[in-house]
Structure 1
């Protein structure tokens, strides 16, 4: 069974750059205030979602393993 992720966007950090939409358009949307949110917070693990988190200029996207809460991104130091 594939991993499931829980994706969150800290809307207080989001600057509306649209990088998440560029890398994972099926997984993110911008609202009328140009703040990002996941289309479905609980999703199958997918490389485009990870890339969106890694390239977010505001570091507003976090990903955890659904169920355990173990960090996927940003990784624990």
Structure 2
């Protein structure tokens, strides 16, 4: 993962606002005023905490891709 960057997509239509992503990877995910997850628009450094947050999302709302190639890292 060293040197790799990921883009994060959150399907706001299915996000239930559990906050697990923000709890697992607080440097990356935040909650908006409606309690839905948000992520940075720019690529973020690859991080096992971000992968864990995506894998544990109860609504399966998070997709991770490599920033360079757009290859799926994790998809619900």
Q: Name the TM-score, length of structure 2 as normaliser.
A: 0.91
Question: What aligned pairs does 1:31-50 form with structure 2 within 5 A after superposition?
Answer: 31-50=32-51
Query: What CA distance in whole angstroms lies between the structure 2 residues aligned with 1:73 and 1:41?
Result: 17
- Give the C-alpha shift of residue 22 in structure 1: 1.1
- Give the C-alpha shift of residue 2 in structure 1: 1.1
Maintained 8 Å contact 2:8/2:40: no
**Structure 1 ranges of 4+ moved more than 3 A:** none
Which residue is equivalent to 2:62?
Answer: 61
- Give the C-alpha shift of residue 8 in structure 1: 1.1
Query: What CA distance in whole angstroms lies between the structure 1 residues aligned with 2:26 and 2:40?
Result: 9
Matched positions, count: 75
- Structure 2 gap ranges (5+): none
- Structure 1 gap ranges (5+): none
Q: Give CA-to-partner distance per residue, 1:9-54, whole Å, 9 cap, x none.
A: 1111100000001100110011111110113541000000000000
Q: Name the TM-score, length of structure 1 as normaliser.
A: 0.89
